[in-house]
Structure 1
Amino acid sequence: MFSKGSILSVTVCALAYVHAAPASLDTSLLKRQSITALSTAQITAFRPFTSFASTAYCSPSTTINWSCGSNCAANPDFIPTASGGDGSSVQFWYVGFSPSQNTVIVAHQGTDTAEIEADATDIDAVLENLDSTLFPGLSSSIEAHSGFANEQAKTATTILSAVQSTIKAHSATTVTLVGHSLGAAIALLDLVYLPLHISGVSFKAITYGMPRVGNQAFANFVDANRVLTHINNKEDIVPIVPGLFLGYHHPSGEVHIMDNNQWVSCPGQDNASTECIVGDVPNIFDGDTSDHDGPYDTITMGC
């Protein structure tokens, strides 16, 4: 059994025990690019959002009134709007406003491997077009992991309504989506979804231990139209699945925490440098599931 928050399953391992690109893929997409180290100030700036992502593992009965102990205390001025999910068939989530960060926060829980229904979402790795009702106007070339898309669809309209209410209540101009593991995948899909229905505000996502969510066209769309930072910890194996050979690609925006705890920015999609997750973890057997939950700076995911 993997640790809480891991989205790996036996089936995914069987499908994606290697992530190397097929020979037909243009290897220029994977070539080593310039890697830059983050400053202490840049790393520290992520900490509130890391805490928000960790807090998504807390019960909705505590996030709705911000009474979840040390997780909630990490962002003490947060004003919740709505929360939901059962942690099984529907991942926990919450929406609210952070005055100190001056942004609406949308947070999604990652997979708890104690919940079999959540695990089943992870192994449904078929690429499919996104629902045109939820995602109007997208190119038919854009495809996403069907399990992740199905999970995002369960809460999409409820979260849209909560975000709209929060923007209005606080005259907000920015929305930040956060999540870890499966929650990161849902947050990325929300990042694509919400701006299709809300105008006049800016959106960004900060995710942790995120698996690949879509195909090359999906990654290209995110790069061209959205703002994403996806943070990977050391030898975490989750970010290298589903495999490139299955047609999956990460968008740009990777930040990798190396073994020496240095944070580096890895430009491009699926940067193959050994300082980045794709080069550092060439297959799941070279990875370490214990790195999945963190720590990310000083924070380990969970409630």
Structure 2
Amino acid sequence: MARLVDITYCVGTTGVSPPFSCASRCKDFPSLDLVRTWNTGVLLSDSCGFIAVDHGTSSSSSSSSSSSSPKPPSKPAIIVAFRGTYSITNTIIDLSTVPQEYVPYPSPDDDGDSTPTTKKCANCTVHMGFLASWRSARELVLPALKTARAKHPGYPVHLVGHSLGGAVAALAALELRQSLGWTDVTVTTFGEPRIGNKHLAHYLDETFSLLSTNNNNHTTSPKETLLYRRVTHANDPVPLLPLSEWGFRAHAGEVYIAKPDLPPAPEDLRLCVGADDPECVGGPEADGWLGWVLGDLVRGEETRKSVEAWTRRLGGFPARLKLWQLFFAHRDYFWRLGLCVPGGDPVDWGRGKYGVLLGGGGGDGEL
């Protein structure tokens, strides 16, 4: 899934062309047929990505791979991939103080080609920039997606996104599940920021059954068959933005990559409990240092602090406040995302094809 969202960075640059060809690693997915790409513009609130249909591969065709390790068979699926942007922090800072009410589409003046929502989102607010990005993509994505689904009615839908694309994928998924009533939707995001307030986070948790409870009404450990996988990475600040001081909260479904460097191993992954597992990206110090870096600076509080106070706080900086490390952490999800160059990221050269299980419903695909 990370490789698929990596390919979205070709859209708007060198391009993705039928049947499924690009300058990056499109050849790793011979069973995919491109449905369409979209690129709504160059502004931070615009959206970019592709829709493709995976017709699946059999065990016999998988074993013929030139890779030293046979590629496992893949199941049919419809893929909707949303591209991210490394300027996401600018978007968050500029717009985070202006949340707006979240109303699941379709709105009352919509075309009516939908199933009414089964559950309203009470007291929910959403980041207006993320919602604007989904609105700009919606009129291009939904018609093509509905056509593909009608042509392949047994194919589950997989949404995948990185960074800003993860936030857009979250809002798209809520519409598909709640407004359209599609139950076979699975989501995987990488470095997804917080999309709204605690009520919206809870609404998403309920929609994708991310939280289970025991008799004491406490959240229990998550299952591996998550319908929504929010993958985070050690030292990546974006999943902690916008700040909780601004009223934003994360939702559950987190899969945490604890190893800072590439490549991670299975033992470096953690299925997190709830939205703020202290052993995951939202650890106890997270909002503290991010609040200092962003919250205090935005509010101008540094002008009221003495040089001595600044010195004390500087002494407590975690290493991940080094900006170049933050950039790498936001980019390095299983491999480097956002490099649409011939043959893919040079670091990947010499590595074999990646086994990808896209089967839906149970969330049993490999990341």
Normalised to the residue count of structure 1, the TM-score between the two structures is: 0.74
Identity of aligned residues (%): 24
TM-superposed CA distance for 1:230, in Å, is 0.7
Name the count of aligned residue pairs.
250
Residues 224 and 74 (structure 1 numbering): CA distance in 2 closer, same or farther, change over 3 Å? same
| Per-residue deviation, residues 82-129 of structure 1 (Å, max 9, x unmatched) | 11115513221111212234211111110143xx9x954763112211
Q: Do residues 206 (structure 1) and 180 (structure 2) align?
A: no
Question: Which residue in the other structure is 2:140 paired with?
Answer: 158
Misfit runs of 4+, over 4 Å: 118-122
Higher RCO, 1 vs 2 (CA within 8 Å, ≥6 residues apart): 1
Question: Which residue in the other structure is 2:305 paired with?
Answer: none
Question: Which residue in the other structure is 1:142 paired with?
Answer: 124
Question: Which residue in the other structure is 1:108 paired with?
Answer: 82
Question: Which residue in the other structure is 1:175 paired with?
Answer: 157
1:69 to 23, 31, 36: 23
Q: Is the 8 A contact 2:157 2:185 kept in 1?
A: yes
Residues 134 and 150 (structure 1 numbering): CA distance in 2 closer, same or farther, change over 3 Å? farther
2:100 to 116, 128, 145: 128
1:192 to 174, 189, 192: 174
Give 1:1-303 correspondences, 5 Å limit.
49-59=1-11, 62-65=15-18, 66-86=20-40, 88-89=42-43, 90-99=46-55, 100-113=74-87, 119-120=90-91, 123-125=94-96, 126-131=98-103, 133-134=105-106, 137=117, 138-226=120-208, 227-259=227-259, 261=264, 262-271=268-277, 273=278, 275-279=279-283, 282=286, 283-284=289-290, 286=318, 287=320, 288-303=325-340
Report the AA paired with residue 281 of structure 2. Answer: I
Moved more, 244-253 or 168-177: 168-177
Residues 152 and 297 (structure 1 numbering): CA distance in 2 closer, same or farther, change over 3 Å? same
Residues 301 and 231 (structure 1 numbering): CA distance in 2 closer, same or farther, change over 3 Å? farther
Residues 187 and 122 (structure 1 numbering): CA distance in 2 closer, same or farther, change over 3 Å? farther
Q: How many Å separate the matches in 1 of 2:281 and 2:182? A: 35
User: SS of the counterpart of 1:245?
Assistant: helix
Residues 263 and 280 (structure 1 numbering): CA distance in 2 closer, same or farther, change over 3 Å? farther
Q: Which runs of 5+ in 1 are unaligned?
A: 1-48
Q: Which runs of 5+ in 2 are unaligned?
A: 56-73, 108-115, 209-226, 294-317, 341-367
Residues 64 and 129 (structure 1 numbering): CA distance in 2 closer, same or farther, change over 3 Å? farther
Moved more, 277-286 or 67-76: 277-286
User: SS of the counterpart of 1:70?
Assistant: coil
| Per-residue deviation, residues 112-158 of structure 1 (Å, max 9, x unmatched) | 43xx9x95476311221124553665334111111111111111132
Q: How many Å separate the matches in 1 of 2:93 and 2:47? A: 12
